[in-house]
Chains A and B, each alone.
Chain A
């Protein structure tokens, strides 16, 4: 298998399409015959990253690179950025509005879920500029 690159645009506040990038990524991994436990971890990472772009950002993209050893997921948006990324990683920390919480989002578990499912994880953010979350999951 050579390297496969996927790219999905994620719009802000578009709850009707939310989850489509994650579903498409999952379908591709299944077609490629990736192990189901790995697919499950990728699904959690991409779903949480996608929802964070929808709920908290101005919009962005999810990139996935698949090779024989690993799956790398990069979620990057165009702001507003996170002032304190340490705090954002805490379980239960969320700035989601009451409205969004009523729909079941905003448990403050998204970034912790991503971190837990990743073999390598990093988050980088500059206020008024961007947020980039990177997650690598080893296939072997």
Chain B
């Protein structure tokens, strides 16, 4: 499953303008950055309500496939610029973190 497959569901808006379309291998939910640093794994999507520039650093350091801002959280302007510089897709959604995780899981199961 790719980031573009998520966008095709209509539940997500791609905020960053980049040309990468990485694969998504799973999902991690968290807003405490030290916890995320310790547990977010490579190629996972990271669901959070944090929307500042340091989120990009954490996502890139952990090689996340994308960041998904839940509950309509909006990305800061400087964070958007940084994400585009790093080629990191950032999406936003009205859905809750739980609903996003369920949706991703359902899509991953279908792909197997």
Structural contact, A103 and B52, CB atoms closer than 8 A: yes
CB of B38 within 8 Å of the partner chain: yes
Chain B, residues 33-63, CB within 8 Å of chain A (1/0): the string is 1111110001000001010111111101110
Chain A, residues 10-46, CB within 8 Å of chain B (1/0): the string is 0000011011101100100000000010001001100
Partner of B38, one of A26, A103, A105, A113: A113
Shortest C-beta distance, A18 to chain B (Å), equals 5
Chain A residues whose C-beta falls within 8 Å of the C-beta of B32 in the assembled complex: 104, 107, 109
CB of B17 within 8 Å of the partner chain: no
Partner of B53, one of A16, A26, A48, A51: A16
Structural contact, B53 and A110, CB atoms closer than 8 A: no
Chain B residues whose C-beta falls within 8 Å of the C-beta of A104 in the assembled complex: 31-33, 36, 48, 50, 54-55
Partner of A22, one of B53, B55, B57, B78: B57
Partner of B37, one of A18, A44, A103: A44
Partner of B60, one of A23, A40, A44: A23
Which of A16, A104, A109, A113 has the largest number of chain B CB atoms within 10 A? A104
Which of A's residues lie within 8 Å of B, judged by CB? 15-16, 18-20, 22-23, 26, 36, 40, 43-44, 47-48, 51, 103-105, 107-110, 113, 116
Q: With A23-B60, A104-B31, A116-B38 given, can you name 15 additional A-B contacts, CB distance below 8 Å?
A: A16-B78, A18-B53, A18-B57, A19-B56, A23-B61, A36-B42, A47-B37, A47-B58, A103-B50, A104-B36, A107-B34, A107-B35, A109-B35, A109-B38, A110-B34
